[in-house]
Structure 1
């Protein structure tokens, strides 16, 4: 219980500090730049004796909604650099730095936070140490933990979304479409409850893992996490779980993507449409798995509009 009490106190201090000109009351080790507050290394669980953590980006003018962003690339975490530490303070990754990373969603925390969303940057155990079953469990636990503690962040549990690209997008879909699954090692009541998400937005996300590896045999060589039993390819494929009660889902994909081919986005969208789920599919022309800054910005803008629509950004009303 002490852990949660301290966490709540830190959150209150940081939210208060975000609305002042100084951060004199900020706990040691937490720096508050002018554009966002940061709560680092919140522990949501443990595995193999290691702490599983997430960071929280706190907006100056919160709108009461939150977006969970899994920091994952090739099921390795952390993969993306959303923020840079300089002289003990944090700033967002710049466009130039982002262009050198060749990744889709580095720009997303800045866009979301500046529009009032509280952003949770979640890290999971990385392959090859961790299996797909363990990685999925980490993200599922994080989502349940965040929803359970939503009140601590002044969030409405009915206004929480998931966002990710590539492996992060796969995990966002997998967890967002299966809120009814409890944690296999659940001890607390919150670990057994539904963790319903209100909106999902993904880019270039693997959706049918069986087809993904059959179309890209080298992925089995490069990513041990994909060396699974036949039945597991279906178990960890988001297309398996499309059902009419799924949250509104935005699928974005580049038509020149050779790493995660366009068919993956098409299959996910088709499954959602057949299930009667509110969904939208955007194809980005001449776009590979490594986007330009302009392409990435458009993807983030589309995701932001999707969240505004389905999470109800009251700050824009």
Structure 2
């Protein structure tokens, strides 16, 4: 085989792999035409499917771009890195058209491993993105994070604990070089005991919070405190945009109001938006006024 034939074969193989990645991604059609996809990147050297992430870049991206890290919800026990995108498709398109890259990360579910496995995975994923930023045209100095429900909890926890030296949130021998500069928290729990009390104060060992911790938050307030984002609020934290549904049936809006109060007391810039008539998730969070708030906030803080 001569050089020319080898080169042609390599090019065809590249495009075959690229086409396969596109065909196996169930949400790629939600993105603007021409979006560049890097699919199922392993951020840990193991075989776990949950230790993978996807990167979406605007078409023809060349310069290093500010990155939005997408953390899915699902009560810490279900869903994957494609979750929450279907009802946020307009926001996704607006992010890429505004010059942001998106990295959607997966993490181990609470039925696979209890806390702090989930936040350890998030730290590993973001560190991978930081260390490989140039490879994927990412600006390592402009990382923001957006999370939904359980993902909102993890996004907030990751950002708030990044300057507190919490070694249990990092796996042995792992690095933590990155810095999160902005947080968008969609209806994430901020205090697991108050979340449990809002459900009647029942010591329920089968609740999502109990499965996450390995015990009810009411029975083990010490474990709940470690997992609470509000535990780590201080004056050096990044700005927050917090968005919650008025009629959220799973996470009470007071969870977001409480987080905002702690941030305000510490002098951290934040805003809370309570979306009228909105439930726990859905297209009301993708409405134009909310979308514009998100894009404006991230543009101001990252660009």
- Identify whether the pair has TM-score above 0.5, normalized to the shorter chain: yes
Where 1:177 maps in the other structure, the secondary structure is helix
Where 1:158 maps in the other structure, the secondary structure is strand
**Residue pairs, 1:1-317, within 5 angstroms:** 25-26=14-15, 28=17, 29-31=20-22, 34-45=33-44, 50-51=48-49, 52-60=51-59, 62=61, 64-79=65-80, 81=82, 93=86, 98=87, 105=88, 107-180=90-163, 181-182=166-167, 184-187=170-173, 191-216=174-199, 217=201, 220-223=205-208, 224-228=211-215, 229-291=220-282, 293-298=283-288, 299-312=290-303
Q: Which runs of 5+ in 1 are unaligned?
A: 1-12, 18-22, 84-91, 99-104, 313-317
Greater Rg, structure 1 or structure 2? 2
Contact 1:57–1:109, Cα closer than 8 Å, also in 2: no
Query: What TM-score, normalized by structure 2, do the two folds share?
Result: 0.79
Equivalent residues, number: 269
Please give the root-mean-square deviation of Cα atoms over the aligned residues, in Å. Answer: 2.7
Runs of 4+ in 1 over 4 A off after TM superposition: 217-220
Where 2:140 maps in the other structure, the secondary structure is coil
Query: What TM-score, normalized by structure 1, do the two folds share?
Result: 0.76
**What is residue 25 of structure 2 aligned with on the other side?**
none
In structure 1, distance between residues paired with 2:60 and 2:143: 17
